[in-house]
Structure 1
Amino acid sequence: MKKNNNKLPRREFIKNSSIFTGGLLMASSFLSPAHANKAKNNEKLKLAVIGCGGRGTGAASQALIADKNVELVAMADAFEDRLNKSYENLNEMFGGVQINVKPSHKFVGFGGYKKAIDEADVVILATPPGFRPQHFEYAVAQGKHVFMEKPVATDVVGIKKVMAAAQVAKQKNLNVVVGLQRHYQRSYQETYKRIKRGAIGDIVSGQVYWNSGGVWVRPRKDNMTEMEYQMRNWYYFNWLCGDHILEQHIHNIDVANWFIGEYPTKAQGMGGREVRNGKDHGQIFDHHFVEFTYPSGAIISSQCRHQPNCMNRVDEVLQGTEGSSYTKGNKAELKSYKKGVIYAHNGEDDINPYQQEHNRLFATIRQGDEAINDAENGANSTMTAILGRMATYTGKVVTWEQAMQSNLSLVPDEDTLTFDIQAPVMPDEQGNYPVPVPGKSKIS
């Protein structure tokens, strides 16, 4: 994206926004008998964004585009520079319209999310995913509608917290949209409908891919504490990111779960660090291969890789008893083994699914329709990716039941979080971080 003094023209930002990946009572106005889950069309909805990096800024812009009567009133981030940059970009894009963030409502630090959430009707949760469970739990407790990015946790303890909060959200009739945007993409929706109607028979196998050259690395700077370094480089530490099998490949794994209509019973696989193995690459793998087995007997082969100059591929292929499906972005195809192509989608006119998530969220809030609650599926698809990570880290067959028994919390207690505490994982004297070793690492 082109930048000019850290600001983006609105048209440029909107055009490229899809790259950003990347107490238990509601406020009285929302719990009145007239509209427990409905906002009047002329009612101003207050928005807060928690996590002001690229994805948080992108999601905030999409929320403001989705509903012209939404106003951004609060922002929170661990880093002041990131919050200020996000605010400047959003203010530039929207020309001050729909942006009403007072200086006192810019909250910096680990605990600022609570104050920002308190100011809003709708919240965007876009911090590194390790913090998602506690942020989601608090937002639901305060009766807020939520958009939260995927994955929704980095460990099983966090998964259970999200699942519990999802039930509370359902009881309160709160809307929760999770950033697994393929569920809001026409090509995937149309393919799913046809598969459910039996277009390719029963799904028996499939292959899902997120193979690419990798992502950014941010260098360590003088005077950085270890915690700040890890927070700036959150992608490379499991307590923050969960490994790229969660952070990116969850999209493809989620599609397999969705189309099959089940979550796997077990996984086995292999992975490691072959190319991306320096001190600045933290502790995550650069490749994973997982074989997921489902209750129906279907087996999905899952690949994700971060290695430059190799085959790049991000898509899903499924085989049924009567045909096959292919999905990638706004393209989709169903084939019958006997008749050839029976459905093709080439969606030049489709709505950007990153935008459509927010369109649906705010339309549902306005109309008072049955609340959207993506949180349970978001938790289960995140758990599927965690199951795959456990399999590749240990080299063992890991069942869903075994994985769910883990009580290891990777994320520090929020009451202890400062930039001066010892980070959850520390480098050795040579600056290398502990890396999982198949055959030695335990299920955790």
Structure 2
Amino acid sequence: MENKSRRNFCKAAALSTGGLLILPTGMHGKIYGSGSDKLRLALVGCGGRGTGAAVQALTADADVELVAMADAFEDRLNGSLSAITDHFDGEKEINVPEKNRFVGLDGYRQAIDQADVVILATPPGFRPTHFEYAIANDKHVFMEKPVATDAYGVRKVLKSAKIAKEKKLNVVVGLQRHYEDKYLQLLNQVKKGAIGQITSGQVYWNSGGVWVRPRQQGQSELEYQMRNWYYFNWLCGDHILEQHIHNIDVANWFIGDYPVSAQGMGGRQVRNGKDHGEIYDHHFVEFTYASGAVIASQCRHQPGTMSRVNEVLQGTKGSVNTGPGEIKTLSGETSYKYDGDNPNPYQVEHDKLFAAIRNGDVISNGEYGAKSTLTAIMGRMATYSGQVITWDQALNVDMQIMPDELTWKDNPPTMPDANGMYPIPTPGVTKY
């Protein structure tokens, strides 16, 4: 569902309400006049999501031009450029000079240097370093979720997000439900007291799983893991982070807080081969908040099982179900039903980003993006260890699984044993 919707390139710009942080008059950064200033765009990470985000950015503003691209692999970059060009089919000129097509693990710097706005869509392990470089060099940023795979990376992103706000730079994070009208209207009802105080909830990302890219002859271990990045924590962070963060983030957003602790269980039942790296195929976590609310979080990648991706929250006066967009009373009567057009939120987040840049407004999604990332990491720590993990432990743990710098000569942080199997986290044994 995630991949299909994100790669469904939308040509029509959509309008919806979004969360803007409007700074006081006189504190804005440079304002780009519409129709008079070209906004230069760089794409870092040329997979399906990066390609889709680039199309949406180019759709959001008539005076945006793609000037640079970077990816670890040349075939991914060339495929992305072809897909973007084919999408517009002459309606918009796409001309990225060959000298601005950067291949390799350090090409992000050169691409970012060419631009006013950057899209960061590599595997999430790279996000903290790329974001840090973009903000240090005064770029507006759209970055995909999650924004890190370890606590060290989260702390790094929080630091860069603070600097971005001080510099009045726009930062949009691809937790697109924040830009979806259905969610915004439901949240408005909740804030008005429609369900009372939230006491509990259930959030889901249950599906059959994602792609597997088998090892190719002649690949180094680093290239294999990079190509098959979803199955390695230093790159992906496990599916509780890479996908289920959406649902966990909604719970945080509607409650208006972050959990104080997490405990749970998980493991590998059907995803247990050499080509499944080191991640689990199911997680179940209880997140407890300071108010006493408990959110039951479940995600599963097991073919042939029930699929469900949504959020349900219960309060003292009723409940909200985000799937159908309904609010019900304690007696089960529907008190509110969303019936709007619900424009494509993947497009809306780019519409809002470029409108803010043009108008001198500031969107600051970096902090909540980092904190929802940490929430999912805390859940992973709980399922991997079998222990109760507190927010402070998760934030301050001495855990860095993603190297600051990486070259093609390096081995990845996780290596297989003599039988080609990777070390698997074990509850009761794995510690933090």
Q: What's the TM-score once normalised by structure 1's chain length?
A: 0.90
* TM alignment of 1:27-426, pairs within 5 A: 36-42=29-35, 43-95=37-89, 97-328=92-323, 331-338=324-331, 340-347=333-340, 349-369=341-361, 371-414=362-405, 417-426=406-415
Query: Match for residue 5 of structure 1?
Result: none
* Contact 1:70–1:98 (8 Å) recurs in 2: no
Query: Match for residue 426 of structure 2?
Result: 437
* Contact 2:261–2:289 (8 Å) recurs in 1: yes
Runs of 4+ in 1 over 4 A off after TM superposition: none
Query: Match for residue 26 of structure 1?
Result: none
Query: Match for residue 10 of structure 2?
Result: 14
The separation in 2 between residues aligned to 1:53 and 1:16, in whole angstroms, is 22
**Bigger mean CA offset, 267-276 vs 98-107:** 98-107
- Identical positions, percent: 64
The separation in 2 between residues aligned to 1:136 and 1:340, in whole angstroms, is 46
* Contact 2:11–2:59 (8 Å) recurs in 1: no
Residue identity opposite 1:393 in structure 2:
Y
Return the offset for 1:92.
1.6
Residue identity opposite 1:268 in structure 2:
Q
Return the offset for 1:13.
4.2
Return the offset for 1:135.
0.3
Structure scoring higher RCO (CA < 8 A, sep ≥ 6) equals: 2
Please give the secondary structure, in 2, of the residue aligned with 1:210: strand
The separation in 2 between residues aligned to 1:170 and 1:442, in whole angstroms, is 36
* Contact 2:12–2:59 (8 Å) recurs in 1: no
Residues 313 and 160 of structure 1: CA distance in aligned 2, closer, same or farther (over 3 Å): same
CA RMSD of aligned residues (A): 1.8
Q: What's the TM-score once normalised by structure 2's chain length?
A: 0.93
Residue identity opposite 1:210 in structure 2:
W
Please give the secondary structure, in 1, of the residue aligned with 2:168: coil
Aligned length: 413
The separation in 1 between residues aligned to 2:420 and 2:332, in whole angstroms, is 59
Residues 12 and 308 of structure 1: CA distance in aligned 2, closer, same or farther (over 3 Å): closer
The separation in 2 between residues aligned to 1:160 and 1:339, in whole angstroms, is 43
The separation in 2 between residues aligned to 1:138 and 1:346, in whole angstroms, is 42
Residue identity opposite 1:406 in structure 2:
V
Please give the secondary structure, in 1, of the residue aligned with 2:372: helix
Residue identity opposite 1:295 in structure 2:
A
The separation in 1 between residues aligned to 2:58 and 2:365, in whole angstroms, is 21
Please give the secondary structure, in 2, of the residue aligned with 1:14: coil
The separation in 1 between residues aligned to 2:365 and 2:93, in whole angstroms, is 27
* Contact 1:361–1:372 (8 Å) recurs in 2: yes
The separation in 2 between residues aligned to 1:34 and 1:387, in whole angstroms, is 36
Please give the secondary structure, in 2, of the residue aligned with 1:291: strand
Q: Deviations over 1:26-82 (max 9, x none)?
A: xxxxxxx89624210121100000000000000000000111110000000000000
Structure 2's unaligned 5+ residue stretches are 2-6, 14-25
Residues 255 and 12 of structure 1: CA distance in aligned 2, closer, same or farther (over 3 Å): closer
Residue identity opposite 2:346 in structure 1:
Y
Residues 37 and 351 of structure 1: CA distance in aligned 2, closer, same or farther (over 3 Å): farther
Please give the secondary structure, in 1, of the residue aligned with 2:338: strand
Residues 64 and 319 of structure 1: CA distance in aligned 2, closer, same or farther (over 3 Å): same
Query: Match for residue 22 of structure 1?
Result: none
The separation in 2 between residues aligned to 1:185 and 1:282, in whole angstroms, is 34
Return the offset for 1:413.
2.8
The separation in 2 between residues aligned to 1:41 and 1:158, in whole angstroms, is 35
